[in-house]
Chain A
Amino acid sequence: MPTQNETFVPGFGERLKDERKRLGLNQDEFAERAGVKRLAQLQYEKEAREPRTSYLTAIGAMGVSLSYVIFGKGLLESALATDSIRRIEKKIFDLLEAYVAEQCGGYLSSDGRYVLFEVMRSHCIQAESKGLDAESKLAAFFPKRAEGNG
């Protein structure tokens, strides 16, 4: 029975299963690496219960896209330059620090920070990539204008 919650977008069990299969792992192997029992893994995939932060951190470290599993929107391969990504990461870090200071009484576990950082990073990089795509399309239509601006 799917859980009724406001955090995970429905279908996260299926997406989790997709990611597990993408990594070529069965439920036992995946559960072991994630530090949970097979039954818990089964329940997550059935959406019978919500994963905890430590679980999300563990599967994130295994290469699972957290934003895809939680929100159904994965991180596409981005053409962003490294310095652009670093700039975005720094701003996300600042925002996360502000959130922790303002809303969490100054403390949030490293697992929690990791999960929030990863999903925000994914979202922002996707947004920036989208803007980059739009600029590329504009440059294709107006190459001279783009050169003039550059």
Chain B
Amino acid sequence: MDKEKSADTSDEHVMRALSRIREVFESEPPANADDALELLRERLIEFRPNETSKDVEVRCAEVVDFGHTQKHSSRVESVLYWLRGTKDFRENEFELARRAGVLVENSGGRVVLRGQPLPDVWASIMVAGISLLTGAWIAWVCFATEGSPDVILASIVIGSCFGAVVGKVLDKSFRFAKLRAKILAVAPHLGEGVRVHL
């Protein structure tokens, strides 16, 4: 059943491609094979806004390379394997990428670089809020009986500092944003996602 369905889909793709190729056959004959290929590429591959033929060539080459340089059952692993080949990442960064789910496969079969789950501003606000509560709690538990506002205030400040340090350490250990930026620098097309065939 699935095979039949695939064959039908293939037939549609082939007929659609042939109808596009027909336009090339019916236009002025090109001067050489490279010109002919250029015309075929323009007809077959849908360009994105402001994309040149060269951009399309690079984009498609990237997609094809992902599909032919490795054998993995997971598309995400295929991309990680490709990234490993760039030698720009340390091994622990791949572990981090897996643990944090930096790369995800969407429903369209494309592997995309996940956006930062929590924007920096909100993260800062949350860390500050938690720090404040922590400081207040420490103050209440340890110094409330003394009843001195100065001591309570000092506890809040100390607790806040402690919370901020913890938050920063956690943030650093997670390093999601940093890793994401690094992957984007190496493979900018992952921002939009790449289609990977296995």
- Known contacts: A102-B45, A116-B14. The answer to whether A97 contacts B25 by CB under 8 A is no
CB distance from A145 to the nearest CB of B (A): 19
Check if B184 is an interface residue, CB within 8 A of chain A.
no
Binds A, one of B27-35, B98-106, B133-141: B27-35
Do the beta carbons of B33 and A91 come within 8 Å of each other?
Answer: yes
- In angstroms, Cα B24 to Cα A107, docked, is 24
The residue that A101 contacts in the complex, of B7, B10, B22, B60, with Cβ under 8 A, is B60
Question: What total count of A-B pairs have CB within 8 Å?
Answer: 139
Check if A42 is an interface residue, CB within 8 A of chain B.
no
Interface residues of B toward A: which range? Answer: 35 or more
Check if A111 is an interface residue, CB within 8 A of chain B.
yes
Do the beta carbons of A119 and B21 come within 8 Å of each other?
Answer: yes
In chain B, positions 16-67 with a C-beta closer than 8 Å to chain A are 17-19, 21-22, 24-26, 29-37, 40-41, 44-46, 56-57, 59-61, 63-64, 67
- In angstroms, Cα B64 to Cα A107, docked, is 12
Check if B197 is an interface residue, CB within 8 A of chain A.
yes
Do the beta carbons of B18 and A108 come within 8 Å of each other?
Answer: no
- In angstroms, Cα B18 to Cα A50, docked, is 12
Do the beta carbons of B63 and A123 come within 8 Å of each other?
Answer: no
Do the beta carbons of B17 and A116 come within 8 Å of each other?
Answer: yes
Do the beta carbons of A71 and B35 come within 8 Å of each other?
Answer: no
Question: A81-107 vs B: 1/0 string, CB under 8 Å?
Answer: 000000010011011011101111111
Smallest Cβ-Cβ distance to A9: which chain B residue: B22
Check if A70 is an interface residue, CB within 8 A of chain B.
yes
In chain A, positions 10-64 with a C-beta closer than 8 Å to chain B are 50, 52-54
- In angstroms, Cα B25 to Cα A116, docked, is 13
- Known contacts: A124-B33, A127-B29, A128-B33. The answer to whether A99 contacts B11 by CB under 8 A is no
Smallest Cβ-Cβ distance to B13: which chain A residue: A104
Do the beta carbons of A103 and B46 come within 8 Å of each other?
Answer: yes
- In angstroms, Cα B192 to Cα A58, docked, is 40
The residue that B44 contacts in the complex, of A5, A91, A95, with Cβ under 8 A, is A95
- In angstroms, Cα B63 to Cα A103, docked, is 12
Smallest Cβ-Cβ distance to A57: which chain B residue: B14
> Contacts of B29 on A, CB cut-off 8 Å?
126-127, 130
CB distance from A47 to the nearest CB of B (A): 15
Q: Which residues of A contact B (CB under 8 A)?
A: 5-9, 50, 52-54, 67, 70-73, 88, 91-92, 94-95, 97-99, 101-109, 111-112, 115-116, 119-120, 123-128, 130-131, 134
Q: Could you list 18 A-B pairs, sorted by A, with CB under 8 Å? A: A7-B22, A8-B18, A70-B22, A71-B22, A95-B40, A99-B17, A99-B45, A101-B197, A102-B45, A102-B195, A103-B44, A105-B109, A106-B67, A107-B6, A109-B10, A124-B33, A127-B30, A127-B36
Instruction: A7-B18, A98-B61, A112-B10 are known; give 16 further A-B pairs, CB within 8 A.
Output: A6-B19, A7-B15, A98-B56, A99-B44, A101-B63, A101-B195, A102-B63, A104-B10, A107-B197, A111-B14, A116-B18, A119-B21, A123-B24, A126-B36, A127-B31, A130-B32
| The 9 nearest A-B residue pairs measured at CB | A98-B60, A106-B197, A128-B33, A131-B32, A109-B10, A127-B36, A112-B14, A124-B33, A71-B25
